[in-house]
């Protein structure tokens, strides 16, 4: 369970990017975050794993308060938060297998990583996951020789190698063609069910959010103004998210927690 309470992020003396945001993501759920550029979607994901430091508020993952962790405690917790990036974030000169094993860096001694002497159980798990997403035959291929869709599958496996408690995906299909985008979203949907993982996806494509996620969160100017099922995202709710209707109108399209639980 991810529980976020009154989260605020401010850069310098400017207007806060996140303004007292509250959000809960239970286990085994696939949740998409939509909103115009500048809504705070990426900042929210980066606050969860503290790639960006929150200004105030609470972020709790499975009972652990992330915002107060320091050094070793933060490192141990962060390794259980899988992250999939829009730009893939692969090391181009390394092989697919070596990139995938980067997901284990928080678990193995430094000397093993430096010498690329990965535990056999990690190699076996990597092959299993790569087979699952269809890239096992690329294990020895350099990352820069892959297509965009193949590179993103490497990113997915790398995140899963962390044995994560939650998977965060920041615009995972933005750099991909429409067909490959749908394949990646379908893959994330299936993996969430198979591995019993909560998945939080920041996405611009509302059609994909409707089709592949079971809950949609709409943000505008750092606030959560829609939270409901895909079928509840009607034109009025879309206007609230992307056109900026009044706060009263926005609240009208935010179902209560009891409705979301059904």
Cα–Cα distance measured from residue 98 to residue 115, given in angstroms and rounded to the nearest whole number? 11
Measured in degrees and rounded to the nearest 5, phi and psi for residue 82 equal -75, 140
pTM: 0.88
14-58 confidence digits (pLDDT tens): 889 999 999 999 888 899 999 998 899 999 999 999 999 999 999
**pLDDT (average), residues 201-214:** 95
Q: What is the pLDDT of residue 258?
A: 35
- Does residue 49 sit in helix, strand or coil? coil
- Does residue 142 sit in helix, strand or coil? strand
Looking only at Cα atoms, what is the longest distance across the chain? 59
Q: What is the pLDDT of residue 244?
A: 59
**pLDDT (average), residues 219-234:** 95
Q: What is the pLDDT of residue 58?
A: 97
**pLDDT (average), residues 119-124:** 95
Measured in degrees and rounded to the nearest 5, phi and psi for residue 105 equal -60, -30
**pLDDT (average), residues 120-137:** 95
Does residue 197 register a pLDDT over 80?
Answer: yes
Q: What is the pLDDT of residue 87?
A: 87
195-199, 225-229, 256-260, range with the lowest pLDDT: 256-260
Cα–Cα distance measured from residue 99 to residue 11, given in angstroms and rounded to the nearest whole number? 32
52-78 confidence digits (pLDDT tens): 999 999 999 999 999 999 989 999 999
Sorted by where each starts, the structural domains of the chain and their CATH numbers stand as: 2-80+164-261 (3.40.50.300), 89-147 (no CATH)
Does residue 261 register a pLDDT over 80?
Answer: no
> Do 23 and 216 form a contact (C-beta atoms < 8 A)?
no
């Amino acid at each position: 369970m991810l529980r976020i309470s009154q989260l605020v992020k401010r850069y310098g003396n400017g207007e806060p990017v996140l303004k007292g945001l509250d959000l809960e993501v239970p286990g085994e759920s696939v949740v998409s975050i939509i909103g115009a550029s500048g809504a705070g979607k990426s900042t929210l994901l980066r606050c969860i794993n503290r790639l960006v430091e929150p200004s105030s508020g609470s972020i709790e993952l499975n009972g652990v308060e992330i915002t107060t962790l320091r050094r070793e405690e933060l490192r141990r917790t962060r390794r259980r938060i899988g992250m999939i990036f829009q730009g893939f974030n692969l090391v181009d000169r390394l092989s697919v297998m070596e990139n995938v094993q980067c997901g284990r860096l928080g678990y193995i001694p430094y000397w093993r990583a430096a010498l690329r002497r990965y535990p056999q159980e990690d190699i076996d798990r990597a092959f299993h996951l790569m087979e699952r997403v269809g890239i096992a035959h690329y294990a020895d291929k350099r990352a820069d020789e892959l297509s965009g869709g193949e590179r993103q599958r490497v990113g997915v496996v790398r995140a899963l190698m962390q044995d994560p408690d939650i998977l965060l995906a920041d615009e995972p299909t933005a750099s991909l063609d429409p067909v490959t985008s749908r394949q990646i979203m379908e893959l994330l949907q299936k993996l969430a069910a198979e591995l019993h993982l909560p998945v939080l996806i920041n996405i611009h494509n509302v059609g994909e959010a409707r089709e592949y996620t079971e809950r949609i969160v709409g943000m505008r100017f750092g606030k959560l103004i829609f939270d409901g099922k895909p079928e509840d995202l009607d034109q009025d709710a879309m206007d609230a998210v992307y056109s900026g209707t009044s706060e009263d109108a926005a609240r009208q399209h935010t179902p209560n927690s009891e409705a979301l639980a059904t």
